[in-house]
Structure 1
């Protein structure tokens, strides 16, 4: 008991002296009469309660008090200024049963259901049985609950204020409550002193500021978890630098909500780094621009407006200073063509070369706002970034985060990535750069590739039509020597008017085309695979309307009769026109070869929920209107047995290719090609 009393006495004495030192010495006497004595004596407490007085209180209540509150009374029989909103806590003579005086049990937790949680049950009874400790406050209840007891005999404390518009806050003990009120005092006093232009400095603030600086160095050395814990404690005490530092860690861990970069967003040194990140969230939430940093100082207002403008028109690019900038440019070029894993490897390798803009900058958080590189930053990669020593600090390199692109083409069957792949057309061409694909598969007058944008933005861009004979397609690189283009979720059209793009795309090259439409409702699904070289189809097949159409020498591994079965297993199943379904033998396939563009093509990209892509508006004119000896490349074939679509990926050398149709009719294909 003596040790606990000494601990209370030391804590309360320190708090009292900090409070006294924080008072304005210019305040005339009599203005705050109740505070004159604690200012003079430098003590917020009262004389201690005797053991006899404490026992008399326990007899009156019929309860033995919890250890921390009982010891507190033996040090100080009551307390002034518990935080900023409780002016006086009761001593032994003024503590009283609360007895649900305000009728709050009807609201917190309200009517219980048939299976309430322990917390709900405790809260429901707390209002009636609790002891009320607040005597003078700003509409704040402080309630000590004898029914909510832990293993050490401590009673929980609940506080509730009508102006907070939130449920009661629970503290596990009276000591925990008082420590929280000490932190609240520091928070409010720090803010008030800053507004008044006065310093609030004492042993506690000096110790916390030293821990903030140590946390900054820990963060740069890759010890971000240790740094985050120290910064969280400093934030609870209102230390100025802590929030801006910890927000950088939180944002890279995938916590965009409630990140404000306090102290950085209004500093011209850091505004170019953090304001685009805040603007990204502002735009994503469709908030009015007048609400974006309305109180920002004039020194950063132009940066804020420029960030919004460039993010809206798609021209924003993260441009860090120093040697890390070259890696960012290289990674952006890799990511914009679909090689997202290689882009992350480039950034990861160069992270030790990153340099901060100032002493409160601990990570390249501006990457999150880049429309091409931001989606690379999954929470796993964010942890890897934060765990990598940088800015000249020493430490152990973390284990690399797993690559995001699945091997080969299995990603086409991953409907969890987003509904855009329930149907698709995919074309993979060897020996052709991505920028050359539109000219090969489109018609005359194609405007060329747009800047990277999300699928949602592309389909809502008035300059990119998706109606009639036009398609919005993803264009990118699928490994050394290969390019791809993908149209996810294509709209319907009259297939008899169109021809495959693969013939023109494979002039002097090799191409693989896949068109997958799942069976849905009364619409028959279909699946097409076509391999072409030098403008001629080598082999292919089409499964549709209960029939299989074969063309050329199809490898045994790709025999559609093995990979697809009729939904009706009877011998007449195919002839009856029943919808097809994948064979069980096709569900396990191996996929190796070229890097996959899966992450670059899906709409559920990490970090932002969308992925930037290279896109082209690709017209699909009517074959009867084509000019020249060769039919213009189209998406569809002129006959049901020769349907085509956007194509798939092949591989150099001996390799395996997997294709799994997404949706209800899921099919797997495995095959081998030799260059």
Structure 2
């Protein structure tokens, strides 16, 4: 609660008036009233007597709220409240607005049918409000007698059509005047009209606060630093917004984060410009006309770099690089992240934070890595707070408590419904003692298959379909993301497989296991299409050791299945498919000591490739359809396979 009655109105208004007078140039054209105010260094009027205030209240039929009443005792009106209210009413000119502007109907038209009483009451302020603006740039200032707090204070409602924003509410008149003082400061700080440099005790205090906040942030005290920078930003102080934007971006905030003043500085542009480019790429829908809006005033080289960076961001090939020991840690973290170890990558970054050095005095933290498509998924609000809490840049402070890992370290998470319940069917291959880069050689026919650049699964799916020129009803080439599945294991994962065909399915386990061991799992226990099913097969040195398939309510087994994986333990009663699925996945994970990285599979980017078909070729008498894609059209093939067709017929 603000004690508005005890506020020192006179000292506040005297300071404001003096700073306003000092901001004017000698010889500047001014109105007669402004000239008098400049000479007197006073924007107000004479104090209003208690009798005059009482007469005003009798005229209006209401006792004025405390903060406005105390203001009138110091100054009966005010000139230049901010930049757009040139004269504010005192006891003589305050009057009920009575919808003189006609805005009540307009704002009520904006309300939809579901608008509640509170919203309708807010729209009605134009009928009941006490108007304080006498002269302004089409800016309304109304005290709202029906928006009253426990101290008898009335809220202030302000609105200007040219702002293209809804009415703004201020808790009371004191809050409103403080905001107008900050607005005055902000406008003066950003002027470029040749007036005297805007320097006074207030600006010096705030600039010292910014520098203190910078050092506090480097020591890990980002919350205190952020509050101080926000205060200075409201006054338009240089550096405050740019430093605060770095904190906001690491907290996951992107709205109104532009790094103005720094992003076009050659010293900081390599770190900050890619962030704006990446945000543009995420929301531009290929309209690049606004790419350089926040780079205006920069040179052609930086503009060219921005467009080159945009191309790399869109193709997923942009890489964040930085020199020194921290840069080496970034490379190690990226290598871990691109194979799915997001927790290991994050700890690598955080452990190297004390080694990070700023590019200059306006650099608070490494933020450019968030533009790297492989590293960006590492960031969460909790991790952003951990990074900001870590001392860096040569400063000393207490290290924060590490954030919890994002990956559960098992397979059972696959049984948990995802948002929208889209992951009801999936398949994966696990190969022991093999690097992820080697998986295409085991799951693809022929040589020369390379991994795609890291991308989300849905980006990879869209790219695959775009490049596909032939679709077959019998061919099931899985698009799989690859990574590490724990100590000594690699995985290939498909989160959106084709329908399971028990009669034509061929497990890739044997081919993948040459010289090692491989495991294949295909689960559809929660599938929305057809009967639930589950398949497990394990092979060693090119030979399948054991397997089972549950489908259509039956279990088919082969080989000697370990007791922990015996399907009879899991398929007695499938009323709860989720529980059976979870138990199976826990058993598989425990048997082989493997896990899949949930955070990266769900939110991150991994290398992908297309495997050989998971179904056998059609036998004699089995029909199928092939669709070949031609430029600009999709045409069906001219035949189906029959008993007389050869193995390659279409």
**Pairing 1:245-394 to 2, within 5 Å after superposition:** 245-287=243-285, 288-294=287-293, 295-298=296-299, 300-394=302-396
What is the DSSP-based 3-state SS (H/G/I as helix, E as strand, rest coil) of the residue aligned with 1:290?
Answer: coil
Cα deviation, residue 82, structure 1: 0.5
With 4-13 and 356-365 compared, the bigger mean Cα shift is at: 4-13
Cα deviation, residue 147, structure 1: 1.9
Contact (CA 8 Å) 2:87, 2:133: kept in 1 or not? yes
Partner of residue 507 from structure 1, selected from 514, 518, 527: 514
TM-score by length of 1: 0.84
Cα deviation, residue 48, structure 1: 1.1
What is the DSSP-based 3-state SS (H/G/I as helix, E as strand, rest coil) of the residue aligned with 1:147?
Answer: strand
User: CA 1:212 to 1:435, structure 2 compared with 1: closer, same or farther past 3 Å?
Assistant: same
Distance 1:587 1:307 in 2: 45
Deviations 1:247-267 (A, max 9, x none): 111111111222111111111
Deviations 1:143-182 (A, max 9, x none): 1122221122211111111222332211111111100000
Partner of residue 552 from structure 1, selected from 548, 559, 570: 559
User: CA 1:58 to 1:273, structure 2 compared with 1: closer, same or farther past 3 Å?
Assistant: same
What is the DSSP-based 3-state SS (H/G/I as helix, E as strand, rest coil) of the residue aligned with 2:446?
Answer: coil
With 614-623 and 151-160 compared, the bigger mean Cα shift is at: 614-623
Distance 2:112 2:311 in 1: 50
2:8 maps to 7
What is the DSSP-based 3-state SS (H/G/I as helix, E as strand, rest coil) of the residue aligned with 1:255?
Answer: coil
Cα deviation, residue 239, structure 1: 1.1
Contact (CA 8 Å) 2:534, 2:550: kept in 1 or not? yes
CA RMSD of aligned residues (A): 2.9
User: CA 1:206 to 1:310, structure 2 compared with 1: closer, same or farther past 3 Å?
Assistant: same
1:639 maps to none
Deviations 1:111-131 (A, max 9, x none): 989997674364244332221
1:479 maps to 486
Distance 2:128 2:556 in 1: 79
1:235 maps to 233
User: CA 1:485 to 1:586, structure 2 compared with 1: closer, same or farther past 3 Å?
Assistant: closer
Distance 2:581 2:334 in 1: 41
1:632 maps to none
User: CA 1:19 to 1:336, structure 2 compared with 1: closer, same or farther past 3 Å?
Assistant: same
Contact (CA 8 Å) 1:405, 1:596: kept in 2 or not? no
Cα deviation, residue 199, structure 1: 2.0
User: CA 1:113 to 1:438, structure 2 compared with 1: closer, same or farther past 3 Å?
Assistant: closer
Distance 2:479 2:410 in 1: 23
Distance 1:532 1:81 in 2: 82
- Residues 1:432 and 2:434 aligned together: yes
Deviations 1:68-100 (A, max 9, x none): 111111111110000111110111111111112
**Pairing 1:80-95 to 2, within 5 Å after superposition:** 80-95=79-94
What is the DSSP-based 3-state SS (H/G/I as helix, E as strand, rest coil) of the residue aligned with 1:291?
Answer: coil
Contact (CA 8 Å) 2:425, 2:526: kept in 1 or not? no
1:488 maps to 495
- Residues 1:620 and 2:613 aligned together: yes
Contact (CA 8 Å) 2:340, 2:601: kept in 1 or not? no
Cα deviation, residue 272, structure 1: 0.7
Deviations 1:181-200 (A, max 9, x none): 001111111111x4647521
User: CA 1:39 to 1:107, structure 2 compared with 1: closer, same or farther past 3 Å?
Assistant: same
User: CA 1:348 to 1:120, structure 2 compared with 1: closer, same or farther past 3 Å?
Assistant: same
Cα deviation, residue 618, structure 1: 2.3
Distance 1:90 1:62 in 2: 17
TM-score by length of 2: 0.87
**Structure 1: gaps (5+ residues):** 570-579, 606-610, 627-675
User: CA 1:521 to 1:351, structure 2 compared with 1: closer, same or farther past 3 Å?
Assistant: closer
Deviations 1:314-341 (A, max 9, x none): 2211112321001001111111111111
How many residue pairs match? The answer is 606
Contact (CA 8 Å) 1:443, 1:621: kept in 2 or not? no
Highest RCO, 1 vs 2 (Cα 8 Å, sep ≥ 6): 1
Distance 1:360 1:410 in 2: 46
Partner of residue 535 from structure 2, selected from 528, 532, 536: 528
User: CA 1:541 to 1:124, structure 2 compared with 1: closer, same or farther past 3 Å?
Assistant: same
Cα deviation, residue 361, structure 1: 0.6
User: CA 1:119 to 1:22, structure 2 compared with 1: closer, same or farther past 3 Å?
Assistant: farther
- Residues 1:23 and 2:44 aligned together: no
Distance 1:10 1:279 in 2: 47
Deviations 1:260-315 (A, max 9, x none): 11111111111111111111111111341221123241153233122212212322
Distance 1:40 1:97 in 2: 33
Distance 1:356 1:303 in 2: 22
Distance 1:368 1:12 in 2: 45
